[in-house]
Amino acid sequence: MNNEDLYPLREIHDPIERGKRATELMADYQERMTELARIRREAVADALKAGLTQAEIARQLGLTRARLSQLGATGPPPERAFLGDGRLTVVVGQKTEAERGRPVIARETVTAWDRLRQLANELELDATLETVPPPGIFDLNRSNLIVLSGPRLFPLVKQILDGDPHLRFSEDGGWHLRDVSTETIYRSSQDGEIDYGYLGRCLRPDNRGSFLLLGGIHAIGTQGCVAYLEEQLTELYHEIRDKRFSLVIRAETNPDDPLTVIKTQRVSPIYRHGN
């Protein structure tokens, strides 16, 4: 931004409107500065992995070695980019309550949202919650979008997942996940202590980006996807970066607290979906 970019802002006559616009721009540029710091930190780490010495990197970046060492410890960690590069919008689906017929969010999903928000905050990302009532129609063509529900609540998500060449949600009297490549079927346990979730980055309907999907057969499987990221985000990011992919997570609940996932495991390969 240069001084010429500020001219339209200075010309806003209404002081409140001018102040609001200035605040919005400050927040926008702060997000950009944070992401630039992350990119720089990752670039230095990648250069070191490529075999360059700190002295070589510092010289080519026009920095002192002391300053370069500081950069390696400042800025958000590289794996932050797995979730997004700005304010996250986390979408959850509501289901119709059996007794009163009103839309509600499953308690397991609320816990999943709380855990995801905390993870985002640790990575210096803000997240806002968006609830979608039945029939589950919402806009998928947005940046920094995370869908935190399975296709049972979102018909359009089901259509997109039907295009996954490896993993599918299917229904034969009960929902399950199917690995087309290995002919493996993943079903929830009858006691509800074991569930499975789909974790993947999916192509948006407009083909101009992607969104992150954490969706279980049931709500506990959705929470299991979040719990998996809590433990494995760094490794998963270094494996796939920002590419599209899908995999299956097995989630196990606490017998004393059946609404909370305490153990997760990746049970399928990491399937890559092109660029």
Question: Per-residue pLDDT for 160 more than 70?
Answer: yes
Confidence class for position 2, pLDDT limits 50, 70, 90: low
Question: Per-residue pLDDT for 71 more than 80?
Answer: no
pLDDT tens by residue, 176-207: 999 999 999 999 998 889 999 999 999 999 99
Distances (CA, A) of 59 to 56, 62, 88, 252: 5, 5, 36, 50
Is the Cβ–Cβ distance between 224 and 250 less than 8 Å?
Answer: yes
What's the mean per-residue pLDDT of the chain? 89
Identify the pLDDT of residue 192: 81
Identify the pLDDT of residue 102: 82
Question: Per-residue pLDDT for 48 more than 70?
Answer: yes
CA angle 208, 209, 214 (to 5 degrees): 145
Q: How many residues does the chain have?
A: 275
pLDDT tens by residue, 78-123: 899 999 988 999 999 998 876 677 889 999 999 999 999 999 999 9
Domains of the chain (ranges; CATH) run: 3-75 (no CATH), 81-272 (3.30.379.10)
pLDDT tens by residue, 227-249: 999 999 999 999 998 899 999 99
C-alpha 114/C-alpha 132 separation (Å) is 17
Question: Per-residue pLDDT for 26 more than 90?
Answer: no
Confidence class for position 142, pLDDT limits 50, 70, 90: very high
Q: Which of 254, 115, 268 is nearest to 182 (CA)?
A: 268
Confidence class for position 145, pLDDT limits 50, 70, 90: very high
More confident residue, 135 or 35: 135
- Return the residue matching tokens 């490896």: 166
More confident residue, 24 or 268: 268
Residue 90 burial by Cβ neighbours in a 10 Å radius (0-12, 13-18, 19+): buried
Spatial neighbors of 227 by CB under 8 A, at least 6 apart, are: 115, 251, 261, 262, 264
pLDDT tens by residue, 124-138: 899 999 999 999 999
Six-digit token string for 214 = 């954490």
Six-digit token string for 246 = 């899908």
Is the Cβ–Cβ distance between 9 and 29 less than 8 Å?
Answer: no
Q: Which of 82, 85, 111 is nearest to 223 (CA)?
A: 111
- Quick one: three-class SS letters along the chain? CCHHHHHHHHCCCCHHHHHHHHHHHHHHHHHHHHHHHHHHHHHHHHHHHCCCCHHHHHHHHCCCHHHHHHHCCCCCCHHHHHCCCCCEEEEEECEECCCCCCEECCHHHHHHHHHHHHHHHHCCCCEEEEEECCCCCCCCCCCCEEECCCCCCCHHHHHHHCCCCCEEEEECCCEEEEECCCCEEECCCCCCCEEEEEEEEEECCCCCCEEEEEEECCHHHHHHHHHHHHHHHHHHHHHHCCCCEEEEEEEEEECCEEEEEEEEEECCCCEECCC
C-alpha 195/C-alpha 110 separation (Å) is 17
